[in-house]
């Protein structure tokens, strides 16, 4: 919901200021999705709002697909200019419901292993389009009585967060505003493919928000081959950006490591990963997050076995590196890590 546009509209119509508070209360506290549902407002004002804004969202919800085990859902959203994006809801454990939101239509980074990267970039999402994804999943949890409602937000959907930082920054301010979403900063995580300046800005503006670095390769040559962004921001610049973040925020950082069979899972690859972690004096704040590869239609890569992931974990732990294994959710609806493509053509066939 574009609060600034709404506020301007109400002022132009000489509507009393308290009506905005009533609308915010109805939308963010009681889950109203259409202005016609807000009975506290006069009928003529409800009609004006309906004609001006239609619904509280900046998009139409085209389809929602749920995983068989009920632990994930994926929504296809149609923006006002007709473009499509995808956003995901996952439940990694009981009573925890996390919205995985997008920041761009497509992505310019062209990582070889990511379906979104194959799309290229169409445009950045607006502040409203980013925040409204959270509002949608908040209401979805409310309507479907999922646990205690939406508990967490991860900016790990379509796009690179730090290439749309100003709009994301405003959206984060809305999410953490106690009069609106009221999400605690520590319940929000941002994943970057490696934009050092973005890490620094996050540490300065939101030191309590969690950071995850999509590392995937601790070898510069391989990182350049599979993640073209590494040609602009090499491992040395990543280390400098991450050191700044760790010093400023003093927060734990996840180093995401997508295991690709025969590409970055060999002993020499893992030894370089250990070396990367140990290059930080504050390496106690770093945790490697091992991720199984999720196949998508454009994928030339193969995933490693679960047994292999466990062996990698054991090797890293033996070297004194903190490790977790990410639980895979939403793969059956192509809503897992690296699978979002915003097509709606094959992903949503029932």
Q: Give catalytic status of residue 25 as yes or no.
A: no
Q: Among the options 24, 33, 86, 160, which is catalytic? A: 86
Can you spell out the DSSP letters for 78-127?
EETTS-EEEEEEE-SSTT--EEE---EEE-SS--TT-TGGGG-EEEEPPH
Q: Among the options 100, 114, 141, 337, which is catalytic? A: 337
Q: Which residues 6+ apart lie within 8 Å of 307 measured at CB?
A: none
Supply angle C-alpha 320, 325, 329, rounded to 5.
Answer: 170
Query: Residue 87 forms beta bridges with which residues?
Result: 75
Q: Give catalytic status of residue 337 as yes or no.
A: yes
Tokens of 197: 């300046």
DSSP three-state, residue 270 = helix
H/E segment holding residue 190: strand 188-192
Residue with tokens 């006069």: 42
Give the separation between CA 94 and CA 172, rounded to whole angstroms: 25
Count CB-CB contacts under 10 A for residue 16: 9
Tell me how far apart the 2 most distant CA atoms of the chain are, in Å.
Answer: 69
Q: How close are the terminal C-alpha atoms of the chain, in Å?
A: 30
Can you spell out the DSSP letters for 122-138?
EEEPPHHHHHHHHHHHH
Supply angle C-alpha 145, 147, 150, rounded to 5.
Answer: 90
Residue closest to 55 by CA, chosen among 38, 30, 75, 76? 38
H/E segment holding residue 237: helix 235-249
Catalytic residues: 86, 337
């Amino acid at each position: 919901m574009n609060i600034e546009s709404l506020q301007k509209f109400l002022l132009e119509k000489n509507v009393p200021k308290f009506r905005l508070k009533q609308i915010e209360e109805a939308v963010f506290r009681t889950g109203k999705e259409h202005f016609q549902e807000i009975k506290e407002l006069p009928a003529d004002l409800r009609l004006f709002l309906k004609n001006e804004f239609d619904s509280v969202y900046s998009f139409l919800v085209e389809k929602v697909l749920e995983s068989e085990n009920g632990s994930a859902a994926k929504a296809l959203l149609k923006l006002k200019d007709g473009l499509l994006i995808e956003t995901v809801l996952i439940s990694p454990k009981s009573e925890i419901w996390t919205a995985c939101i997008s920041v761009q239509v497509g992505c310019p980074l062209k990582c070889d292993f990511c379906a979104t990267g194959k799309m290229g970039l169409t445009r950045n999402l607006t502040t409203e389009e980013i925040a409204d994804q959270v509002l949608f999943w908040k209401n979805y949890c409310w309507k479907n009585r999922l646990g205690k409602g939406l508990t967490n937000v991860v900016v790990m959907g379509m796009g690179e967060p730090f290439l749309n930082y100003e709009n994301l920054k405003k959206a984060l301010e809305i999410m953490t505003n106690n009069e609106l979403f009221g999400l605690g900063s520590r319940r929000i995580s941002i994943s970057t493919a490696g934009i050092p300046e973005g890490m620094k800005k996050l540490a300065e503006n939101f030191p309590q928000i969690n950071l995850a670095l999509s590392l995937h390769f601790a070898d510069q040559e391989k990182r350049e081959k599979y993640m073209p962004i590494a040609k602009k921001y090499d491992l040395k610049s990543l280390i400098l950006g991450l050191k700044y973040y760790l010093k400023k925020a003093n927060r734990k950082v996840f180093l995401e490591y997508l295991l690709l069979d025969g590409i970055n899972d060999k002993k020499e690859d893992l030894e370089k990963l250990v070396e990367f972690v140990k290059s930080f004096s504050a390496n106690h704040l770093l945790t490697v997050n091992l991720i199984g590869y999720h196949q998508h239609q454009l994928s030339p890569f193969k995933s490693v076995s679960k047994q292999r992931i466990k062996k990698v974990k054991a090797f890293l732990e033996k070297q004194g590196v903190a490790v977790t294994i990410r639980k895979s959710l939403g793969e059956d609806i192509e809503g897992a890590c690296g699978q979002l493509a915003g097509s709606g053509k094959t992903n949503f066939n029932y």
